[in-house]
């Protein structure tokens, strides 16, 4: 725990984050480029879905990061509430925007996939509806965090909201099991997959690439939030002189 508190120090964090950010960013972009090339040109069309199946290389990472992003907000919020780590609240705020973007991208790509598959752009089934709710929860968190910061709050209310929002994650995960929905069930497991290997193999590349890219964006945003806070503190000191 002592080492964890050490990395919670903003100066130590910045010393690590500055060199790590470009490494994660460029490796992530390179993997996304390789995965996109492989998924678009080196895999066959599905025997049922045809070329539409290729959208999974964007849709699956987007769904994963939309849910993982909120998990990160929840962990950061719990850390802030329990241990008062100075960077925990900053991390949660930094995750919110890219998490919302990927949740929205999941909904958009799902709709594009659903049009030729289901014959409609949208269906109020369990998986789609719960993911839409998560997207709105992200927007609510960002608005609440901004309002709390503007009024000089201590960050506890956004943190409690971040913890409460986790109730959606198991609903999204198990919605295709609990309810009879149009959305297909789980296709990829730890030991097996319903997707042919000839189609599946670029997906891990895309997942890893998007995850690294996501992490780089979060580090960029954390650094920007810390820089803004430092500049505002300097201006307040100057105003009192």
Question: Are 33 and 208 within 8 A, CB to CB?
Answer: no
- pLDDT tens digits for range 78-118: 999 998 887 999 999 999 999 999 999 999 998 998 888 77
- pLDDT tens digits for range 214-236: 999 999 999 999 998 887 767 66
The confidence score (pLDDT) of residue 241 equals: 60
Asked if residue 176 has pLDDT above 70, the reply is no
Asked if residue 132 has pLDDT above 90, the reply is yes
The confidence score (pLDDT) of residue 101 equals: 98
The confidence score (pLDDT) of residue 8 equals: 63
pLDDT confidence tier of residue 136, bands split at 50, 70 and 90: very high
- pLDDT tens digits for range 195-205: 777 888 999 99
Return the higher-pLDDT residue of 12 and 206.
206
Q: What is the mean pLDDT of the chain?
A: 87
3-state per-residue secondary structure call for the chain: CHHHHHHCCHHHHHHHHHHHHHHHHHHHHHHHHHHHHHHHHCCCCECCCEHHHHHHHHHHHHHHHHHHHHHHHHHHHHHHHHHCCCCHHHHHHHHHHHHHHHHHHHHHHHHHHHHHHHCCCCCCCHHHHHHHHHHHHHHHHHHHHHHHHHCCCCCHHHHHHHHHHHHHHHHHHHHHHHCCCCCCCCCECCCCECCCHHHHCHHHHHHHHHHHHHHHHHHHHHHHHHHHHHHHHHHHHHHHC
CA dist., res. 35 & res. 163, Å (int): 34
Q: Which residues, in sequence order, are CB contacts of 104 under 8 Å at separation 6+?
A: 135
- Please enumerate, as own/partner, the contacts of 169-178 that have beta carbons within 8 Å and a separation of 24 or more: 169/67, 169/70, 169/71, 169/134, 171/126, 171/130, 172/67, 172/127, 172/130, 172/131, 172/134, 173/67, 175/125, 175/126, 175/127, 175/130, 176/126, 176/127, 178/126
CA dist., res. 241 & res. 228, Å (int): 20
CA dist., res. 146 & res. 89, Å (int): 12
The confidence score (pLDDT) of residue 1 equals: 45
The confidence score (pLDDT) of residue 4 equals: 47
């Amino acid at each position: 725990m002592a080492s964890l508190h050490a990395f919670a120090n903003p100066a130590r964090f910045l010393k690590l984050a500055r060199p790590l950010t470009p490494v994660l960013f460029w490796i992530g972009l390179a993997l996304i480029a390789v995965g996109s090339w492989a998924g678009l040109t080196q895999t066959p069309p599905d025997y049922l879905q045809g070329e539409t199946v290729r959208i999974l290389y964007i849709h699956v990472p987007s769904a994963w990061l939309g849910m993982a992003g909120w998990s990160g907000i929840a962990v950061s919020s719990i850390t802030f509430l329990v241990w008062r780590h100075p960077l925990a609240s900053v991390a949660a705020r930094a995750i919110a925007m890219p998490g919302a973007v990927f949740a929205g991208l999941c909904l958009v790509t799902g709709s594009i996939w659903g049009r030729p598959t289901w014959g409609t752009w949208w269906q109020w089934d369990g998986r789609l509806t719960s993911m839409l709710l998560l997207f709105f929860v992200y927007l609510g968190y960002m608005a609440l965090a901004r309002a709390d910061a503007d009024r000089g709050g201590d960050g506890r209310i956004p943190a409690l909201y971040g913890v409460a929002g986790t109730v959606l994650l198991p609903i999204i995960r198990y919605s295709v099991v609990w309810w009879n929905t149009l959305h297909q069930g789980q296709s990829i497991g730890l030991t097996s997959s319903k997707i042919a290997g000839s189609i599946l193999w670029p997906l891990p590349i895309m997942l890893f690439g998007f995850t690294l890219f996501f992490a780089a964006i979060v580090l960029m945003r954390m650094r920007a939030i810390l820089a803004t806070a430092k500049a505002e503190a300097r201006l307040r000191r100057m105003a009192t002189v």
